[in-house]
Amino acid sequence: MKQVTCAIVAIGSELLEGSVLDTNSNYLAINLSKHGFTVTDVRMVIDDKNKILKTFKEQFTTHDIILTTGGIGPTFDDLTAEIFAIATERELKQNPTAYKHMADRLAQLGVAIGEGHLRQVELPVDTDLFDNKFGTALGFGTEYKGTYIASLPGVPFEMKYIFENHLIQFLIDRFKPETIHFKDLIFASLPESIIDEDIRKFELVDTTIILNAGKAQLKVKFRGKDLCEIDKYAQVLVDKYPKNFLGYDTDSIAKLVVDKCITHKYTIGFAESCTGGMVSQMITDIAGSSEIFMGSIISYSNKVKINQLKVDPTIIDTHGAVSSECANAMAIGARDVLGVDYAVSITGIAGPTGGTDDKPVGLVYIAISSNKNTVVFEERLKGDRESIRIRSTNIALFKLLEIIKSS
């Protein structure tokens, strides 16, 4: 059975100028891949008629599906419908369904219908429409020369709503992509180059492996039609690096922590210094986290460490706020004041300033306190401020997960 290939085209000058980070293509790539489609091309195009038309024409000859995001709103730079019509040799006409949807929505919001809104509902004739619960612009799609092209809004939550609720099932029914099996192995503290030597020795027939060295973790992603082959080679790696192997899950580490805590009925909370809320934010990204996450103290200043986390001021005076001792006291204090089963503290120097020879940028202490004990980990991380904060967050969640697993 042949692959069903998809091209993604993100339309918008703001993307190529960098004022907006394109997250839509990533979302579409994840969700198309999950359902067995193969994304072979992702591009960004500026709001320029010729550029968009040229891109569409190139994609038509080489892909089964083209998905576009952006450029279907009411403003001067929204050109997708017009170019879509030219590319698929269709007339552009006011679409009554799209008009009604737009008019109803604007009435609700108390906004008058403007010229731009009228232009926005001029769609190529004979297209399928995909409902948009969150915005005035409907998604639309059609087949042309064997390729199915569909256009979605650029606003991420509108795009996601249409894709999830209407478009993906439509595409599955139409293209019936082959089932693809997935297995993701997550390893910690294992250099990419080491596992690469193992992978090179594999004699893979139907399986693709994607290596993904993230911050403080390495993902080895198996993809293929033959689950037996995937399982066989995945097991080779798991058996070879048992200490580094963290799990099979495709989920985020935050999701794993939340799920484990829900299973064990453990409550958690954090005392964050250098991560400044990032750990809590990652946990609360997960729907349902309120069941187990009670809260956190973000103690950027020493005063907050002392007053809210009950850290003894002499610890800070003697060892500094970035010290094993302070991390230890922060975790114990957080567990107490937040009333949780597990409290994790993070204190470190994220930079770019604040480092010394003795305590350089990247020095981070993580402590985990439970009713059994409190353990402290020292990490010396490389990278810029953002990267140090993200790595600290991931390590803190990994350590917490390990401790909960072994509890």
Phi (first) and psi of residue 404, to 5 degrees: -65, -40
| Site membership for a copy of itself, residue 44 (CB under 8 A) | yes
Give the whole-angstrom CA distance, residue 96 versus residue 340: 57
Subset of residues 350 to 379 that bind a copy of itself, contact rule: CB under 8 A? 351-354
Contact between 255 and a copy of itself (CB under 8 A)?
Answer: no
The distance of closest approach from Cβ of residue 146 to a copy of itself in the complex, given in angstroms and rounded to an integer, is 21
Report 159-188 residues binding a copy of itself (CB under 8 A).
Answer: 160-161, 184
The residue type at 376: V
- Is residue 50 at the binding interface for a copy of itself, with CB under 8 A as the rule? no
Q: Based on the shown chain and the rule CB under 8 A, indicate whether residue 101 belongs to the binding site for a copy of itself.
A: no
Q: Give the CA-trace dihedral at 80, 83, 84, 88, to 10 degrees.
A: 180
Confirm or reject binding of residue 304 to a copy of itself (CB under 8 A): yes
Q: How far is the CB of 240 from a copy of itself (least distance, A)?
A: 16
- Least distance in angstroms from the C-beta of 73 to a copy of itself: 7
- 259 counts as binding a copy of itself under rule CB under 8 A: no
Q: Is residue 25 close enough to count as binding a copy of itself by CB under 8 A? A: yes
Residue 406 touches a copy of itself, criterion: CB under 8 A: no
Nearest residue (CB) to a copy of itself, 27 versus 175: 27
Using an 8 Å Cβ cutoff, are 196 and 211 in contact?
Answer: yes
Helix (H, G, I), strand (E, B) or coil at 126: coil
Binding residue for a copy of itself, selected from 279, 311, 330, 397, defined by CB under 8 A? 279
Q: Is 402 in the site for a copy of itself (CB under 8 A)?
A: no
Q: Stretches 142-150, 151-159, 224-232, 369-377: which one binds a copy of itself (CB under 8 A)?
A: 151-159
Please state, in angstroms and rounded to a whole number, the distance separating the CA atoms of residues 94 and 127. Answer: 12
Instruction: Kindly state the greatest CA–CA separation across the chain.
Output: 77
Which DSSP string corresponds to 177-223?
Answer: PPP-EEEEEEESS--HHHHHHHHHH---SSEEEEEEEETTEEEEEEE
**How far is it, in rounded angstroms, from Cα 84 to Cα 207?**
36
Exactly one of 1, 61, 76, 314 binds a copy of itself (CB under 8 A); that residue is: 76
Count the site residues for a copy of itself by CB under 8 A. Answer: 107
Integer-rounded Cα radius of gyration of the chain: 26
118 is a contact residue toward a copy of itself (CB under 8 A) = no
